[in-house]
Amino acid sequence: MTAPDDDWAPVNVDQTAGNGHPRIDETLAALAAARDAPPAVQVAPLTEAHRTLRETLDSIGDV
């Protein structure tokens, strides 16, 4: 296991502001809700977030 970078810090996301993309907003809310959950419970939201973000990034060139 490697040590985190000295410059690393968690990012505080303002959930009330949103980013203008409903799927991303929902994903961020799900991640925030799972933040304090046990690791085994975090797997599903993290997996779904990865899928949603990948699909969203992949679709950027489709517009």
Whether residue 44 is predicted with pLDDT greater than 90 in this model: the reply is yes
**Helix, strand, or coil here: 24?**
helix
Under 8 Å between Cβ of 14 and 29: no
Q: For residue range 11-38, list pLDDT tens digits in order.
A: 665 555 677 788 889 999 999 999 999 9
- Rounded to whole angstroms, the Cα distance separating 29 from 16 reads 10
Helices (runs of H) and strands (runs of E) counted in the chain: 2, 0
Query: What's residue 55's pLDDT?
Result: 93
- Rounded to whole angstroms, the Cα distance separating 42 from 57 reads 22
Domain boundaries, the chain: 22-62
